[in-house]
Structure 1
């Protein structure tokens, strides 16, 4: 069960970097220091519906992090910093810059800094997963990887409840983006999360409106098989989900129509993950997001994505993977570098990842 749980976290987040696998460097003046991360090499066969087929390769998803923990007057204090090589994400240069992913401090139940947003924690732990992620998956409240780690976030956790204040996506917002969620877990391993979100949404001419959304995410365990189901609906959530009035536009995804009225975005995802052996795991996942109104000229009002994945633990900490995925619209620009493109059509990825 421990192996299964670690692998599930690895696939879904790729990056949540569970400290259970960290290398302890030692204790210095009462502070425990550890290093963690992985090296990942990936090759992607790109088969767009329009245009020529291509093959792209990269190792820039590789990452490293450091954590420092100690007890201070009875309080558990932790500092964490992580980076990868996704900066300079353009075909103009094959030398990729170091990018800050996480930099936060936590004291007991409070975390502050740059790290995952509340939408991520409300969905990703309950998702079936994928190899090459962008956000926590199409159809979830956190499907847009461009906004999944705010510049500043404050989390407070109490039991199964999590309350989050986040650097707002709207520059002139009067208050932080808000997330409140609650997770219930059963003794048999089932889990369900309920989340509410709210944010100040720009409507034009320095005006704004409040947009709220609700999300439900669950993971049901049946022996060696996990069933993941998630759904959300509401206003102001399109930019976090990765699909809005103007389609998929990263942080510029619009939650208002041409007249400045809020649109409603609705999404759902379903996935099955099965542990065939102690080393081999398979995943089938489908997700979609629909905007109730889209701009003129946009071919689709619904973004759909499917992935079929196999992960094989060749050696402890060494994973080999194969993934087929298909989507009906582009959600990463063609100017994005190498294996990070997400055109309309199909892709097949092969990868090797070693965690240290």
Structure 2
């Protein structure tokens, strides 16, 4: 039972991070080497609510990874490193530098390095498949893609329990940001997770407060269909959920506190999704997520971020997928007063700062 559960989790996470198709390079001096990744071409049609329509094409999401694993004195040791071409996340002339995504070492139950944060593992394995690269998981405690892989993370995982300590978003924090979670899986394929997060939040007045949030997620498997549900509520998690006092501005600009009073802002979110495998080659999903802040700046026109996605993915050849996804988002992730340092906003000519409105993405992805 335990082995089956661990295998199911490993396969699910591998699918999320596109590491499932790694090519075994063989063994040398007792160490097994493999290489993996994918090439992804995408085109995004954007129809903003309050601006002109546009189209952007790119292969920047393409990535490559390398791993080495061996047994040392009875301990299973694995090193993993992965990069893509997202560079500094700005629009350019097509010349993008390699960016570090993952670089970690795993020894038995402990993982240390730059990799997925604890919020990701508490939600992403229990969600439906999405093509969207940025802002995955809106409505969950892991909705902000800007901080999905902290500079340093330590995971301890054992028998469904996971304790995570990670580099704090608040650079003046005295303790790491923390996540404690438990996952339970059934033999029939259902999965459940509960998580508690805690972090020291900068209240912008020279002081700090400790914010706590609670999350629950589940995925139910019914033959070729799956139903995913999640919900969370709490304080201090806005920077991870991607919505707060300043809306969804990316990075740490969402603001976990009311900038006028210094009080922690509470956010509450939920998501629901259904996926179905229509044929051995065709699959699709429908998802809705939203997150609401109980206090927002006077300049904000929305207190709730909502995102609906619908997609179809066709496996044209083994490891070669062709897909299309429709997205409708009610609020942009660029602040109304972008450019004001006092607002704490993160502003740049970023391809991830999408406006409110609709998008259609078409893509082709070859995994190796």
State TM-score, norm by structure 1. 0.94
Partner of 1:57: 57
Q: Give the 3-state SS of the residue equivalent to 1:125 in structure 2.
A: helix
CA distance in 2, matches of 1:7, 1:328: 34
Write out aligned runs for 1:217-228 (5 A): 217-228=217-228
Structure 1 gap ranges (5+): none
After superposing on structure 2, the runs of 4+ consecutive aligned residues of structure 1 that deviate more than 4 Å are 4-11
Contact 2:323 2:364 survives alignment (8 Å): yes
Of 349, 356, 359 in structure 2, the residue corresponding to residue 335 of structure 1 is 349
In the TM superposition, residue 247 of structure 1 has moved relative to its aligned partner by 0.5
- Residues 279-310 of structure 1: per-residue CA shift (max 9 Å, x gap): 11010000001000000110000000000000
In the TM superposition, residue 345 of structure 1 has moved relative to its aligned partner by 0.3
- Residues 59-79 of structure 1: per-residue CA shift (max 9 Å, x gap): 000000000000000100000
Partner of 2:101: 101
Contact 1:120 1:136 survives alignment (8 Å): no
CA distance in 2, matches of 1:109, 1:229: 28
Greater CA drift, 145-154 or 23-32: 23-32
- Residues 135-158 of structure 1: per-residue CA shift (max 9 Å, x gap): 431101100000010000000001
Partner of 1:293: 295
Q: Cα 1:5–1:194, aligned 2, differ >3 Å: closer, same or farther? A: closer
CA distance in 1, matches of 2:355, 2:225: 31
Write out aligned runs for 1:1-356 (5 A): 13=16, 16-18=17-19, 20-252=20-252, 253-257=254-258, 258-331=260-333, 335-337=349-351, 340-356=352-368
In the TM superposition, residue 251 of structure 1 has moved relative to its aligned partner by 1.8
Q: Cα 1:237–1:293, aligned 2, differ >3 Å: closer, same or farther? A: same
In the TM superposition, residue 334 of structure 1 has moved relative to its aligned partner by 7.7
Contact 1:134 1:143 survives alignment (8 Å): no
| Number of equivalenced pairs | 347
In the TM superposition, residue 129 of structure 1 has moved relative to its aligned partner by 2.3
CA distance in 2, matches of 1:260, 1:289: 21
CA distance in 2, matches of 1:204, 1:181: 29
CA distance in 2, matches of 1:146, 1:349: 20
Contact 1:129 1:137 survives alignment (8 Å): no
In the TM superposition, residue 222 of structure 1 has moved relative to its aligned partner by 1.0
CA distance in 1, matches of 2:261, 2:241: 22
Contact 2:60 2:84 survives alignment (8 Å): yes
Structure 2 gap ranges (5+): 1-7, 335-346
CA distance in 2, matches of 1:89, 1:202: 26
- Residues 291-330 of structure 1: per-residue CA shift (max 9 Å, x gap): 0000011000000000000011111000000000000011
Contact 1:123 1:136 survives alignment (8 Å): no
Contact 2:250 2:353 survives alignment (8 Å): no
In the TM superposition, residue 17 of structure 1 has moved relative to its aligned partner by 2.9
CA distance in 2, matches of 1:298, 1:250: 15
Contact 1:111 1:156 survives alignment (8 Å): yes
- Residues 89-136 of structure 1: per-residue CA shift (max 9 Å, x gap): 222443111100000001000000000000000000000121013243
CA distance in 1, matches of 2:22, 2:91: 33
Contact 2:225 2:276 survives alignment (8 Å): yes
What is the alpha-carbon root mean square deviation over aligned residues?
1.8
CA distance in 1, matches of 2:77, 2:155: 14
CA distance in 1, matches of 2:227, 2:9: 14
State TM-score, norm by structure 2. 0.91
In the TM superposition, residue 181 of structure 1 has moved relative to its aligned partner by 0.2
